[in-house]
C-alpha cells in the first residue's frame, strides 16, 4: 500500500512517563506504516525541558503559530517531589500553561462516546464539549482575612490619579474578602475561540454566567459575547445552521441534564474547572476525554485530557504489564491530522483520521479494551488487553478499514 502524503508538518510535542511510551507505540503501529508522517519534533519530556531551561516549550508554542496545528503528549507539571526525582534546576511551569498563554487559547474538552461505555445520564447520546475560559477570576484573586470591625472598599486609581471607590462591606466583626479581575481582551479572545470552534465543529454554542447577580462583572462577559456574536458570527452561524444562546448558569445546568448532547458549553474559569470534571466522570472515564486548545487566530493544539499516568509507568519500569488506555492520545493525533488535512486540502488525510477513530471505537465495541474500560463497560465478558496489545488490535481493525 502506498503511504499517505502530507504537505505541511505537524508540530509534535513529545511528553513524559506512560504516555511517552504509548506515544512511540502509536506512531510505530498506527501512523508510520500508513502515512508519510511529517512532523517538526519538540521533546517536552521533563529531562529535555530541564536541559533547555524550558526553552523547548516556548519554541514548540512558537512553532504552533507558524504551522497552525500541533499534537501534544501529556507532560509532567513539576512539583517539589518531581524537582527531587528529576534533579531539576527549577520547578518549571506547567507546559500547558505556557503554551496556552503564548497562543492565548481556550481549551475545549470532549468525551469520546462509544457503545458499551454508557454515560450516567441516560439521555446523553452525543458528546458535550466544555470550553473553559482559562484566565482570571478566582484563579488570580487577592484575598484578605478581616480580623475585626472596619471598612473594605474596592479602589481604582486611574493613570491620571483619579480615584473610584466602591464599598464592599462595613465589617462589624471578623470576616474575609476577595478581589477578582478579568480583562476584556481575554474575554474577547475566549468568545472568538468559542464561536470559531462552534463553526468548525458545527455544534450549537451555549454560554452561561450569573449575570442577574453579578450585574457588572458577569454581565460584561455576556455583553462581550453578544457584541462579538452579532458583529462577526451571526450570519455564519445561520448559514451553518447552528445556534448561539446565552442563559443563566442555573438554567444551563438544568438544561444540560435534560439535553442529548452534541453542543459546546462555554464556561467561566471556575465553572469550567468544576463542570469539566463532572462531565468527564459522568461520561465514564478520564481516559476517554480529548482536549484541544484553540487560539482566536485559529491555531490548534490537540492532546488527551489525562496526565502521564504515573502509576502505570512505575509498573512498566518494574517490568510489570500495564493496561493503559491510549484512545485519547490516538484521538489527539487524529484531531491534528484531520485539521492538517482540512487546512492543506488533503481529504485523504481527513479520511485516514476518520478511519483510525472508527478502528478505535470498533475495537472497544467488539469487546476488546483496556482495564479502565473493562471495569465500567456494559458489554458482557470483555477481553482485557495490555497497553501494546490494545494498540495492535486497533491496527488490525484499521488495516481492515483501509
User: Residue numbers of the site for ligand NAP (CB under 6 A)?
Assistant: 74-77, 96, 286-287, 303, 306-311, 324-325, 372
- For residue 75, the partner it binds in Mg ion, ligand NAP, none, with Cβ less than 5 to 8 A by kind, is ligand NAP
At closest approach, how far in Å is the CB of 348 from Mg ion?
38
At closest approach, how far in Å is the CB of 161 from ligand NAP?
44
Contact between 78 and 91 under an 8 Å Cβ cutoff? The reply is yes
Beta carbon nearer to Mg ion, 273 or 342: 273
Beta carbon nearer to Mg ion, 189 or 269: 269
At closest approach, how far in Å is the CB of 277 from Mg ion?
5
Closest-CA residue to 108 (of 353, 285, 284, 335): 335
Q: 233-272 mask for Mg ion (x: CB under 5 A)?
A: ----------------------------------------
Does the protein bind Mg ion through residue 200 (CB under 5 A)?
A: no
- For residue 311, the partner it binds in Mg ion, ligand NAP, none, with Cβ less than 5 to 8 A by kind, is ligand NAP
Does the protein bind Mg ion through residue 273 (CB under 5 A)?
A: yes
At closest approach, how far in Å is the CB of 15 from ligand NAP?
6
Number of residues that bind Mg ion (CB under 5 A): 2
- For residue 137, the partner it binds in ligand NAP, Mg ion, none, with Cβ less than 5 to 8 A by kind, is none
Closest-approach residue to ligand NAP (CB): 307
- Spell 200-224 as b/e; 16+ CB within 10 A means b: bbebbbbbbbbbeeeeebbebbbeb
Amino acid at each position: 500500500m502506498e503511504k499517505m502524503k502530507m504537505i505541511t508538518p505537524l508540530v509534535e510535542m513529545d511528553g513524559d512517563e506512560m504516555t511517552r511510551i504509548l506515544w512511540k507505540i502509536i506512531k510505530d503501529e498506527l501512523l508510520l506504516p500508513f502515512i508519510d508522517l511529517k512532523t517538526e519534533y519538540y521533546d517536552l519530556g521533563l529531562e529535555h525541558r530541564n536541559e533547555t531551561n524550558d526553552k523547548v516549550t516556548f519554541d514548540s508554542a512558537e512553532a504552533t503559530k507558524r504551522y497552525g496545528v500541533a499534537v501534544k503528549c501529556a507532560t509532567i507539571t513539576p512539583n517539589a517531589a518531581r524537582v527531587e526525582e528529576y534533579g531539576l534546576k527549577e520547578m518549571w511551569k506547567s507546559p500547558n500553561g505556557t503554551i496556552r498563554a503564548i497562543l492565548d487559547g481556550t481549551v475545549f474538552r470532549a468525551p469520546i462516546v462509544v457503545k458499551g461505555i454508557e454515560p450516567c445520564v441516560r439521555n446523553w447520546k452525543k458528546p458535550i464539549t466544555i470550553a473553559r475560559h482559562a484566565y482570571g477570576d478566582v484563579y488570580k484573586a487577592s484575598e484578605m482575612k478581616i480580623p475585626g470591625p472596619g471598612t473594605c472598599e474596592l479602589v481604582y486609581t486611574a493613570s491620571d490619579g483619579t480615584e473610584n471607590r466602591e464599598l464592599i462591606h462595613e465589617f462589624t466583626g471578623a470576616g474575609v474578602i476577595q478581589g477578582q479581575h478579568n480583562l476584556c481582551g481575554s474575554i474577547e479572545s475566549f468568545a472568538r475561540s468559542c464561536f470559531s470552534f462552534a463553526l468548525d465543529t458545527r455544534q450549537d454554542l451555549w454560554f452561561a454566567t450569573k449575570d442577574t447577580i453579578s450585574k457588572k462583572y458577569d454581565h460584561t462577559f455576556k455583553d462581550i459575547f453578544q457584541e462579538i456574536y452579532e458583529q462577526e458570527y451571526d450570519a455564519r452561524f445561520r448559514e451553518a445552521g447552528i445556534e448561539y444562546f446565552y442563559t443563566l448558569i442555573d438554567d444551563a445546568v438544568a438544561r444540560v441534564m435534560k439535553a442529548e448532547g452534541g453542543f459546546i458549553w462555554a464556561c467561566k474559569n471556575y465553572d469550567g474547572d468544576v463542570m469539566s470534571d463532572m462531565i468527564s466522570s459522568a461520561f465514564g472515564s478520564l481516559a476517554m476525554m480529548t482536549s484541544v486548545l484553540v487560539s482566536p487566530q485559529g491555531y490548534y493544539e490537540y492532546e488527551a485530557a489525562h496526565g502521564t499516568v504515573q502509576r502505570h509507568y512505575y509498573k512498566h519500569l518494574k517490568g510489570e504489564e500495564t493496561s493503559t488506555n491510549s484512545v485519547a492520545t490516538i484521538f489527539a493525533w487524529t484531531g491534528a491530522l484531520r485539521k492538517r488535512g482540512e487546512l492543506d486540502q488533503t481529504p485523504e488525510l481527513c479520511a485516514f483520521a476518520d478511519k483510525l477513530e472508527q478502528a478505535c471505537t470498533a475495537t472497544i465495541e467488539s469487546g476488546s479494551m483496556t482495564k479502565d474500560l473493562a471495569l465500567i463497560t456494559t458489554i458482557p465478558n470483555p477481553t482485557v488487553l495490555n497497553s501494546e496489545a490494545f494498540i495492535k488490535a486497533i491496527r488490525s481493525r484499521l488495516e481492515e478499514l483501509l
